[in-house]
């Protein structure tokens, strides 16, 4: 039994969106946090407070509000860096992961000094389980520069095949880009082992040549959003990341057990919580994922359907698309049971299973 020290009902009270009624006046069961998580009042209050009291252009104004905006912005950067175990100078605020990775990829094709530049004969290593945000920018970089894209395959269970890891990382490898957790199967790759192999061959020198983060944050900074992010760090720190992880693992274990008991349902990825996070994708025999999602939506259950911007992984697992439930601190075991009941209802509705 997984020990969890998290007052989920108290946590849920912090998220106003969860009090909504949705389709057919059903209470909202939000299982799509892997795409966008709901925001607690602490984050909403932090952003509202900035706009109400300190709204100004950080790093630009010499008046009091400008100074306050700069303090809020750089204070958020320092707080996020400490949360991640990084240096503040290594944290660059972007809108999303796709923009961030494109920023690095374009830098690698435009560096005039040559120390960071990628060209013909160079290689970039990714994995078959990557989100398109960590695939397409590298594909385009290779097209622009003549470099070669290589990738580690996944096993039928949805884990990374590391049998050829040492031979895949060579003196020609310029960058290794791998997800921390699959957004489809929840698989957590052995990042430490991959880093070890990379450090034995690749200096990965590009990251040490980056100038201060402001170089990559042109225009007026998004200070309110940074303030909200800092508040989110405070919120999670107060909950305790160990408690957050244990709660997520508990929900995932429950979901794996509940869905595995339903005839005609195939869970994608590992069937245990070992090296697995809170994303559970599945297919229902005889029912298209979009239809499953629509039926669940009518029951007030919000899930994700499609290939989740991870088409190579779906192809490797032998499916066109899937339905995905993702869990967060505010989800409950009752909601996991509701998901399982909803899947059974969808099977009856479409006379499948």
Report, as residue numbers or ranges, the catalytic residues.
Answer: 309
Please enumerate in sequence order all residues whose Cβ is within 8 A of that of 30, keeping only pairs 6 or more positions apart, or say none: 17, 18, 38, 302, 330, 331
Nearest CA among 336, 338, 340, 304 for reference residue 322: 304
Cα 144 off chain centre by: 27
3-state secondary structure of 100: helix
DSSP code of 329? T
Which two three-digit tokens encode residue 283? 């297919």
Which two three-digit tokens encode residue 118? 């990628």
What is the helix, strand, coil percentage profile of the chain, to 5?
50, 10, 40
DSSP code of 9? H
Are 300 and 28 in contact, with CB atoms under 8 Å apart? yes
Q: How many CB atoms lie within 10 A of CB 206?
A: 17
d(CA 1, CA 24): 36
* C-alpha pair distances (Å), 297 with each of 282, 340, 353: 16, 13, 20
Are 281 and 316 in contact, with CB atoms under 8 Å apart? no
DSSP code of 51? I
Dmax over CA atoms of the chain, in Å, equals 68
Are 203 and 171 in contact, with CB atoms under 8 Å apart? no
């Amino acid at each position: 039994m997984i020990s969890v020290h998290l007052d989920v009902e108290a946590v849920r009270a912090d998220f106003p969106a969860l009090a909504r009624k949705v389709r057919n006046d059903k209470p909202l069961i939000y299982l799509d946090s892997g795409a966008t998580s709901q925001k607690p009042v602490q984050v909403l209050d932090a952003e509202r407070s900035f706009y109400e009291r300190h709204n100004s252009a950080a790093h630009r104004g010499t008046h009091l509000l400008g100074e306050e905006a700069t303090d809020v912005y750089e204070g958020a950067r320092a707080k996020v860096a400490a949360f991640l175990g990084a240096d503040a100078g290594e944290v660059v605020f972007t809108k999303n992961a796709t923009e961030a990775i494109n920023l690095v990829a374009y830098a690698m094709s435009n560096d005039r000094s040559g120390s960071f530049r990628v060209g013909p004969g160079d290689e970039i290593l990714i994995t078959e389980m990557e989100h398109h945000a960590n695939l397409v920018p590298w594909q385009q970089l290779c097209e622009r520069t003549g470099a070669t894209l290589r990738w580690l395959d996944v096993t039928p269970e949805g884990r990374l095949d590391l049998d050829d890891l040492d031979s895949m990382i060579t003196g020609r490898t310029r960058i290794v880009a791998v997800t921390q957790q699959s957004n489809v199967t929840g698989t957590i790759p052995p990042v430490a082992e991959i880093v070890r192999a990379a450090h034995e061959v690749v200096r990965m020198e590009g990251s040490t040549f980056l100038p201060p983060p402001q170089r990559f944050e042109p225009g007026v900074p998004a200070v309110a959003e940074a303030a909200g992010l800092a508040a989110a760090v405070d919120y999670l720190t107060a909950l305790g990341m160990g408690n957050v992880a244990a709660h997520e693992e508990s929900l995932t274990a429950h979901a794996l057990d509940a869905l595995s008991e339903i005839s005609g349902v195939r869970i994608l990825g590992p069937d245990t919580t070992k090296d697995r996070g809170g994303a559970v994708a599945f297919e229902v025999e005889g029912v298209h994922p979009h239809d499953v999602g629509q039926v669940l939506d009518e029951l007030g259950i919000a899930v994700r359907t499609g290939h989740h911007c991870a088409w190579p992984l779906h192809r490797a697992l032998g499916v066109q698309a899937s339905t995905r439930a993702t869990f967060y601190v505010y989800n409950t075991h009752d909601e996991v049971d509701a998901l399982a009941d909803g899947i059974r209802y969808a099977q009856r509705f479409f006379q499948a299973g």
